[in-house]
Amino acid sequence: MDLKTLIIESIKEDIPGRDVTTDLMIDASDRSEVRLFSRQDGVFFGVHVIRTLFNFLDDSVEISLQVSDGDPLTPNQTIAFLKGKTHILLKAERV
């Protein structure tokens, strides 16, 4: 299974049809900035995953990666900053 297909299947599983809570509580025009961070020690491999996910959901999301594939991670280390429509960022978090 390729990455795009995996992302589509994950969205179907986690957000079948629509994300009712987000759609009812968040105005479609609201924008947010988020910080994606590590929870524990590890090695980052996800540049392609992050870019593919947001290219699929909404390619207007601004992605500012702070690490590269293969970089070691420590707890609470910033991986990326994201700016975009709040409802898209919330939906992406669920996947």
Q: Is the separation of the CB atoms in 64 and 16 below 8 Å?
A: no
Q: What is the DSSP letter of 41?
A: S
Whole-number Å distance between alpha carbons of 23 and 89: 12
Q: Which of 62, 10, 66 is nearest to 37 (CA)?
A: 66
- Tell me, what's the pLDDT at 17? 66
pLDDT of residue 39: 97
Model confidence at 83, pLDDT cuts 50, 70, 90, reads: very high
Residue pLDDT, tens place only, 1-59: 898 899 888 877 877 667 778 888 899 899 999 999 999 999 999 999 999 999 988 99
Name the CA dihedral angle for 66, 75, 85, 64, rounded to a multiple of 10 degrees.
0
